[in-house]
Amino acid sequence: VRHVILQEMLDKIYKAFDPSHRDIKARYQAFHEVLSQIIPLLKPVMNYRQKLLFKLELLSLKWQYVPLAWFLNKYRYRSRLLKNIALNKPSKHYSKYMLYNSTRAVKPKTVLFESFGGKSFNDSPQAIYDYMKTHYPDYHYYWILQDVNHPSLPDDVHVIKKGSKAYYNLFKTAQVWVTNARLPLYLKKKPNQLYIQTWHGTPLKRLANDMKQVRLPNTTTPKYKRNFYRATQRWDFLISPNAYSTDIFQSAFWMQREQILEIGYPRNDILVNHQDDADYIQSLKSSLGIPSHKRVVLYAPTWRDDEYIEAGAYTFDLKIDLAQMQQALGKDTVVLLRMHYLIANQLDLSGYEGFAYDVSNYQNVSELYLMSDCLITDYSSVMFDYGILKRPQLFFAYDIDKYANDLRGFYIDYHEDLPGPIYTDASSLIHGLKDLDLLQQQYQPKINRFYERFCTTENGQASKYIGDMIHNYIETQH
């Protein structure tokens, strides 16, 4: 039993002082006296660790030679990385990045963009990219994507595959980083690199430091918050869409007020600038084959991780009854279904051709907002972006009792602050859709209050603001 306990203790020390941890030196300084007393007790099991450098590191701690232990730990780390490179392991590009990042100079006029971890070519990073490419064509622009053959890419986009050698080289050398989500913690920003975090929505559910409890696999609440904090410390500036979000971001993301750019989201410029452009909206409808005279209903629910069943089962779980909806709304209405991509793969719309359209893979959701006459959602932050248009919103919360605990974790009062009615069954929802003009009239005061609280910062110039800001930064660094 004693042998097992000692072995477990040694394993914990081995993991605690793995060279990949960023705070090894601080751990040495905090625990070296305790370790000097514990390590002699581990002698019976020391031979089970056949790694000489680790043994020497422990002996250094035993005699409280902290600088030597720290040197050996760093040497272990470098040896591990060099081994990955020499053996041509899949992690070789990462290893080279960790070894040589500080030795590569930043290249002027180089800007990298990433959206949702490389999954997409869209959102605010794309809006900024489009503006900059037009107004500052002499700069070097790169997009990081998991799929270099992404279907929505224009031909002239310079794509870098995520995880490739070029990916790591780009993060070493790009003068400006623009992303809308967190980056891996191992990517180190240099002092002369500018990182603009656009984020991706007005907060509805509690974020990061404001979360009471984190329910995610392979992490704990303290660990999640610690890693999130480390991620935000690299952000030079964070874009905010409104004063409400600015207050939340300061608390949730540990941000200083002067770091937050309260200018509206670049992705929403298109909503402000084209909401009354009938020709533009008609061109969008035509691209999907939607007749100009038909009313468009957009359904964009929240992803629910307990509703995926199996192939062919999702139509049953759609909850909105397409057959009943088609019968009630007649031939003058079409429904756009914007589902999570995992569910979209199982979406069967056979028999509803010309009425229901699967737009789950449509890249620019803002264009879907412009096409639609109303939005059906539930617990999604899409309500804030759609609020810019002041069009009817209906909230289909069929499982609201199940989500009662989650609603208490929202920043807003779900029952009082929404700009539209809440429905808990499909029949009531369809009844509300029958007369959108009446619904608009009934909820106009709430729609206006919602707009004043969340949407007045949006002026259609956010992309220009950030693009010009990046330009000024680049030019002053010469």
CATH number of the domain enclosing 396: 3.40.50.12580
Strand order through the sheet with 393-396: 356-358, 333-337, 295-299, 374-377, 393-396, 422-423
Q: Is 99 exposed, middle or buried (0-12, 13-18, 19+ CB in 10 A)?
A: middle
β-bridge partners, 292: none
| 36 belongs to a structural domain | yes
Q: How confident is the model at residue 181 (pLDDT cuts 50, 70, 90)?
A: very high
Q: How confident is the model at residue 49 (pLDDT cuts 50, 70, 90)?
A: low
Q: Residue with structure tokens 């009239």?
A: 441
Other beta carbons less than 10 A from residue 404's beta carbon: 10
The whole-angstrom separation of Cα 431 and Cα 149 is 44
**What's the confidence (pLDDT) of residue 337?**
95
Instruction: Judge if 420 and 348 occupy the same domain.
Output: yes
Instruction: Judge if 347 and 203 occupy the same domain.
Output: no
Instruction: Judge if 305 and 217 occupy the same domain.
Output: no
β-bridge partners, 371: none
Query: Max alpha carbon distance in the chain (Å)?
Result: 84
For residue 312, pLDDT over 50 is answered with no
Domain that holds residue 57: 1-89
Helix pair angle (66-86, 52-62), 10° resolution: 170
Q: Residue with structure tokens 């089970």?
A: 48
For residue 322, pLDDT over 50 is answered with yes
Instruction: Judge if 332 and 258 occupy the same domain.
Output: no
Instruction: Judge if 276 and 261 occupy the same domain.
Output: no
Helix, strand, or coil (residue 255): coil
Query: Could you give phi then psi for residue 302, rounded to 5 degrees?
Result: -75, 145
Q: When comparing pLDDT for 104 and 103, which is higher? A: 104
| 365 belongs to a structural domain | yes
Instruction: Judge if 433 and 469 occupy the same domain.
Output: no
Instruction: Judge if 150 and 207 occupy the same domain.
Output: yes
Q: When comparing pLDDT for 401 and 197, which is higher? A: 197
**What's the confidence (pLDDT) of residue 316?**
40
CATH of the domain at 182: 3.40.50.11820
450: its two tokens: 């919602």
Lowest mean pLDDT segment, chosen from 259-263, 344-348, 432-436: 344-348
| pTM (2 d.p.) | 0.85
Mean pLDDT of 335-341: 85
**What's the confidence (pLDDT) of residue 50?**
58
Mean pLDDT of 229-242: 97
Using the CB atoms, write b or e for 16-51: b if 16+ within 10 Å. Answer: ebebeeeebeeebeeebeebbebbeebeebbeebee
Q: How confident is the model at residue 193 (pLDDT cuts 50, 70, 90)?
A: very high
Task: Give per-residue pLDDT as tens, 209-220.
Answer: 999 988 888 889
For residue 7, pLDDT over 90 is answered with no
How long is the chain?
478
| 105 belongs to a structural domain | no
Lowest mean pLDDT segment, chosen from 31-45, 99-113, 243-257: 31-45
Mean pLDDT of the chain: 90
| 101 belongs to a structural domain | no
- In whole angstroms, what separates CA 461 from the centre of its chain? 23
Instruction: Judge if 212 and 312 occupy the same domain.
Output: no
* Alpha carbons within 13 A on the beta-carbon side of 70: 13
The whole-angstrom separation of Cα 472 and Cα 478 is 11
Q: When comparing pLDDT for 91 and 242, which is higher? A: 242
Instruction: Judge if 344 and 408 occupy the same domain.
Output: yes
Instruction: Judge if 123 and 176 occupy the same domain.
Output: yes
- Plot region of 162 (φ>0 → left; ψ -120 to 50 → alpha; else → beta): beta
- For 45, 67, 168, 299, 429, the CA distances from 395, given in Å and listed in that order, are 62, 61, 43, 10, 8
The DSSP secondary structure of 169-206, one letter per residue, reads: HHHHHEEEEEESSPPPTT-PPPTT-EEEE--SS---B-
For residue 315, pLDDT over 80 is answered with no
Task: State the DSSP code for 146.
Answer: S
For residue 381, pLDDT over 80 is answered with yes
Q: When comparing pLDDT for 247 and 102, which is higher? A: 247
Number of domains the chain contains: 3
The whole-angstrom separation of Cα 349 and Cα 360 is 13
Q: Of 138, 112, 108, 129, whose CA–CA distance to 467 is shortest?
A: 129
